[in-house]
């Protein structure tokens, strides 16, 4: 029996996690699913249960539940965000020819600008009065009023995510993919931070004998729309990965479709949809459960249930091919629970 801790977060997180857990129970797999209390701060008993569980499935954070995702991602240091972008026939992609979109966007989760180290400009001027930008303009020229944010890149952080990218690319290569890592930075302007990330990634990927390419983040945004099928593993710095994964999800058919697995040291991992709590549709029972169901498939794989994970993914594929039980974002009229139950029926009939 494997233990799973389900933490719904809020908004549609609750709806998609409920529907996914009902599906998982319906599969008859040997899973014991518990939903310990959330709260701010996250209760110690919940943290203990999540640390000890074989799998952790999270829904989506909103303003009242950021403590849950903060603990799962930052405090537990889940530094590698694996975000598969895959088109299943029947998904409502805005692209003319989405068939074959299948890549993994790998987001560095722990460094960069995203974690939010901010402060008053006056404090920065006090400690670094001579800090200047590439044009020679001094920080003092901005005056004392205002705020700043700090971007951090370390060789250790860049190296470990680049090695993770290589492992992913090798696993995909074994299944016929090209074995390529596309590194995404803005090293043309952020030469020290993004430059370090790019140089480190290039060294690690080339040492691994895999193909390496690099594009600036603005160019990458365009390429993910125009040439998504040329992508294999797309290695992104934190904030770029956050933004580009929404863009990638949309090319496949929408934000409700994109799953993720977040991995740290010592086997720590948790699984969640890429989307947030979607207050605009919360409470209506119409959220697409696909992202959470596919996140659950990634969780099954992590727990050593690869065949079941594949069977669940195939069941999702069948529901899209069939096209009869899709939520409104995919052009259907089904409720969240109905769509998850259709996936369960397809799983059982496999």
Which of these segments, 59-67, 188-196, 206-214, 222-230, binds ligand NAD (CB under 6 A)? Answer: 59-67
The phi, psi pair for 212, rounded to 5°, reads: -125, 140
**What's the closest the beta carbon of residue 278 comes to ligand NAD, in angstroms?**
4
Own/partner pairs, 297-304, CB within 8 angstroms, 24+ separation: 297/259, 298/82, 298/84, 298/259, 298/260, 298/261, 298/271, 299/4, 299/55, 299/56, 299/57, 299/261, 299/269, 299/271, 300/29, 300/55, 302/55, 302/261, 302/269, 302/271, 303/2, 303/54, 303/55
H or E segment at 122?
helix 121-127
Residue carrying structure tokens 């008859």: 28
153 forms part of the interface with ligand NAD (CB under 6 A): no
Give 332's Cβ-side CA count (13 Å radius). 21
CB of 7 or CB of 312, closer to ligand NAD: 7
**Part of the chain binding ligand NAD (CB under 6 A), chosen from 61-69, 142-150, 190-198, 206-214:** 61-69
Q: Decide: 82 and 298 in contact? Cβ < 8 Å.
A: yes
Q: Are 165 and 233 a contacting pair, CB within 8 Å?
A: yes
Closest residue by Cα to residue 58 from 74, 70, 69, 48: 69
Q: How far is the CB of 288 from ligand NAD (least distance, A)?
A: 4
Decide if residue 276 touches ligand NAD (CB under 6 A). yes
Q: How far is the CB of 287 from ligand NAD (least distance, A)?
A: 4
Q: If you write DSSP's letter for every residue of 207-222 in order, what string do you get? A: HTT-EEEEEEHHHHHH
Helix and strand counts by DSSP (H, E) for the chain: 11, 12
Give alpha helix (H) positions in the chain: 12-27, 44-52, 66-69, 121-127, 155-173, 193-207, 217-226, 238-252, 290-302, 306-322, 336-348
Of the two residues 291 and 300, which places its CB atom closer to ligand NAD in the complex?
Answer: 291
- What mask, x for binding ligand NAD by CB under 6 A, covers residues 11 to 30? -x---x--------------
* Residue of the chain from 104, 281, 299, 316 that contacts ligand NAD (CB under 6 A): 281
Q: Indicate whether 280 belongs to the interface with ligand NAD (CB under 6 A).
A: yes
Q: Which of the stretches 42-50, 104-112, 201-209, 274-282 binds ligand NAD when contact is defined by CB under 6 A?
A: 274-282
Q: Shortest Cβ distance from residue 345 to ligand NAD (Å)?
A: 20
Nearer to ligand NAD, 162 or 339 (CB): 339
61 binds ligand NAD (CB under 6 A): yes
291 binds ligand NAD (CB under 6 A): yes
Q: Dig out the tokens for 70 from the structure.
A: 């903060």
Determine if 69 is a binding residue for ligand NAD (CB under 6 A): yes
Residue number with CB closer to ligand NAD (196 or 281): 281
Size of the site for ligand NAD (CB under 6 A): 22
Instruction: Find the shortest distance in angstroms from Cβ 313 to ligand NAD.
Output: 17
Please identify which residue in 106, 287, 298, 346 interacts with ligand NAD, judged by CB under 6 A. 287
Please report, for residues 130, 138, 149, the alpha-carbon distance to residue 142 in angstroms, rounded to integers and kept in the order given: 12, 8, 14
> Site residues for ligand NAD, window 241-270 (CB under 6 A)?
255-256
- Footprint on residues 308-347 left by ligand NAD (CB under 6 A): 329
Residue with smallest beta-carbon separation from ligand NAD = 276
**288 lies in the site for ligand NAD, by CB under 6 A:** yes
The distance of closest approach from Cβ of residue 69 to ligand NAD in the complex, given in angstroms and rounded to an integer, is: 5
d(CA 24, CA 167): 28
Q: What is the chain's length? A: 350
Report the interface residues with ligand NAD, using CB under 6 A.
Answer: 9, 12, 16, 60-63, 69, 255-256, 272, 275-281, 287-288, 291, 329
């Amino acid at each position: 029996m494997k233990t799973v801790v389900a933490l719904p977060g809020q908004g549609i997180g609750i709806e998609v996690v409920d529907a996914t857990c009902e599906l998982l129970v319906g599969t008859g797999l040997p899973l014991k699913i518990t939903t310990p209390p959330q709260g701010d701060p996250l209760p110690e008993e919940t943290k203990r249960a999540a640390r000890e569980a074989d799998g952790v499935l999270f829904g989506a954070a909103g303003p009242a539940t950021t403590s849950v995702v903060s603990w799962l991602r930052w405090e537990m240091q889940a530094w590698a965000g694996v975000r598969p972008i895959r088109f299943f026939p029947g998904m409502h992609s805005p692209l003319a020819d989405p068939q074959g979109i299948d890549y993994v966007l790998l987001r560095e989760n722990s460094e960069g600008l995203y974690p939010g180290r901010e402060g008053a400009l006056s404090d920065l001027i006090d400690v670094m009065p001579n800090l200047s930008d590439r044009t020679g303009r001094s920080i003092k020229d901005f005056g004392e009023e205002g705020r700043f944010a700090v971007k951090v890149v370390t060789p250790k952080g860049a190296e470990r995510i680049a090695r993770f990218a290589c492992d992913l690319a090798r696993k995909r290569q074994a299944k016929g993919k090209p074995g390529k890592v596309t590194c995404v930075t803005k090293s043309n302007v952020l030469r020290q931070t993004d430059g370090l990330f790019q140089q480190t990634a290039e060294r690690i990927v080339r040492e691994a004998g895999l193909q390496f390419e690099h594009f600036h983040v603005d160019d990458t945004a365009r390429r993910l729309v125009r040439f998504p099928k040329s992508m294999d593993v797309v290695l992104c710095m934190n904030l770029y990965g956050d933004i580009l994964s929404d863009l990638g999800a949309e090319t496949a058919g929408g934000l409700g479709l994109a799953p993720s697995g977040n991995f740290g040291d010592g086997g720590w991992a948790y699984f969640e949809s890429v989307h947030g709590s979607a207050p605009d549709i919360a409470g209506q029972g119409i959220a697409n459960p696909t992202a959470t169901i596919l996140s659950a498939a990634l969780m099954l794989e992590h727990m050593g249930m690869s065949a079941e994970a594949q069977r669940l993914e195939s069941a999702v594929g069948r529901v899209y091919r069939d096209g009869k039980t899709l939520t409104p974002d995919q052009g259907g009229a089904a409720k969240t629970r109905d769509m998850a139950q259709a996936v369960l029926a397809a799983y059982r009939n496999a």
